[in-house]
């Protein structure tokens, strides 16, 4: 069973992880062992374990995409719907929001951004809250930095709350919020979506000798998390998270989010 070190580059955040692989990525070479090992057997997780794994992966992926594409002074807004479209059974119609209302808004935004010579891209979550009282629906959205007035004027379907992203450069807390567990009473069927031009994180994975060793911080970065742990899936593992040094370190606030400071299950992260 090979021992791997994976680097994940997401904007101003770099992650490093060391772990034993049971299902080896096809993209890595095998200079130490000469040939590719056999794939490990599938391990059946309980429904509760799988749910936790899915939630962690959703948060991690959302956070990486966010860190790749947005930063300090970019826009985080909440869009309220004055009129909630309903299906014949009385349930809120998310498809109507996703296929009609949201495209109308993004077309207007794209026009004003293009006229100003600013690249337009976005991430969004359509949130339906049903746990108490009447159904409530709103949209959370991330946009590149721009005039607040111009952005708000494009939204004509209800109220708008808007603010700037802070200087942490690592938006794990917002990713936790946008990727809520559906079992908590808030329905996120697809969790989040975005424009086609979103930058994807870069991943580099190589075999190393166990037990690894000191993971040096890349130049200009500092480690805000350095945690060894034992996984039921990957065994003895280690996770290190680096953030660019010119950002403000709110790592304590980031890690004490609703999902808690659980280590990333690296074996299942793309």
Do the domain assignments include residue 177? no
Do the domain assignments include residue 70? no
User: Is the link from the previous residue into 139 a cis peptide, with omega within 30 of 0?
Assistant: no
Q: What is the pLDDT of residues 33-90, one digit of tens each?
A: 444 444 445 556 567 777 777 778 888 998 999 999 999 999 999 999 998 898 898 8
Element (H, E) at 205: strand 202-208
Do the domain assignments include residue 67? no
Lowest mean pLDDT among 21-25, 167-171, 237-241: 21-25
If asked whether residues 35 and 79 sit together in one domain, one would say no
Block residue for tokens 């939204």: 155
pLDDT at 32: 43
Q: DSSP string covering 91-114, please?
A: -B-HHHIIIIIHHHHHHHHHHHHH
> Do residues 118 and 146 make contact, with C-beta atoms less than 8 angstroms apart?
yes
If asked whether residues 82 and 50 sit together in one domain, one would say no
Do the domain assignments include residue 64? no
Do the domain assignments include residue 181? no
- pLDDT top residue among 160 and 1: 160
Q: What is the mean pLDDT of residues 121-138?
A: 82
Range among 30-44, 58-72, 174-188, 189-203 rated most confident: 58-72
pLDDT at 57: 81
Residue 15 pLDDT > 50: yes
Identify the domain containing residue 132 by its residue range.
75-164
If asked whether residues 10 and 83 sit together in one domain, one would say no
Do the domain assignments include residue 258? yes
3-state DSSP call for residue 127? strand
Say which CATH number the domain at 104 has: 3.30.70
- pLDDT top residue among 264 and 22: 22
Looking at the 3D structure of the chain, how many domains does it have?
Answer: 2
Q: What is the mean pLDDT of residues 189-207?
A: 87
Do the domain assignments include residue 174? no
- pTM confidence score: 0.76
Do the domain assignments include residue 60? no
């Amino acid at each position: 069973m090979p021992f791997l070190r994976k680097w994940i580059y997401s904007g101003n955040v770099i992650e490093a992880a060391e772990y034993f692989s049971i299902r080896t990525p096809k993209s890595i070479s095998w200079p130490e062992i000469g040939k590719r090992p056999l794939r490990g057997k599938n391990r059946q997780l309980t429904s509760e374990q799988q749910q936790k794994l899915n939630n962690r992966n959703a948060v991690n992926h959302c956070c990486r995409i966010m860190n790749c594409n947005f930063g300090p002074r970019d826009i985080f807004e909440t869009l309220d719907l004055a009129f909630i479209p309903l299906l014949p059974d009385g349930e809120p119609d998310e498809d109507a929001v996703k296929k009609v209302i949201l495209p109308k808004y993004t077309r207007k935004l794209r026009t004003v951004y293009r006229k100003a010579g600013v690249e337009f891209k976005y991430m969004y979550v359509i949130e339906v809250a049903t746990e108490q009282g009447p159904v409530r629906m709103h949209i959370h959205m991330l946009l590149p930095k721009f005039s607040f007035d111009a952005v708000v004027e494009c939204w004509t379907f209800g109220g708008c709350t808007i603010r700037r992203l802070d200087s942490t450069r690592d938006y794990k807390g917002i990713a936790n919020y946008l990727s809520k567990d559906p079992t908590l009473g808030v329905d996120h069927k697809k969790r989040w979506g975005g424009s086609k031009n979103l930058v994807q994180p870069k991943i580099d994975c190589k075999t190393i000798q166990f037990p690894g060793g000191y993971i040096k911080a890349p130049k200009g970065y500092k480690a805000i998390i350095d945690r060894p742990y034992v996984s039921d899936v990957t065994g003895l593992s280690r996770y290190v998270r680096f953030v660019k040094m010119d950002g403000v370190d709110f790592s304590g606030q980031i890690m004490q989010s609703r999902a808690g400071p659980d280590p990333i299950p690296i074996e299942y992260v793309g």
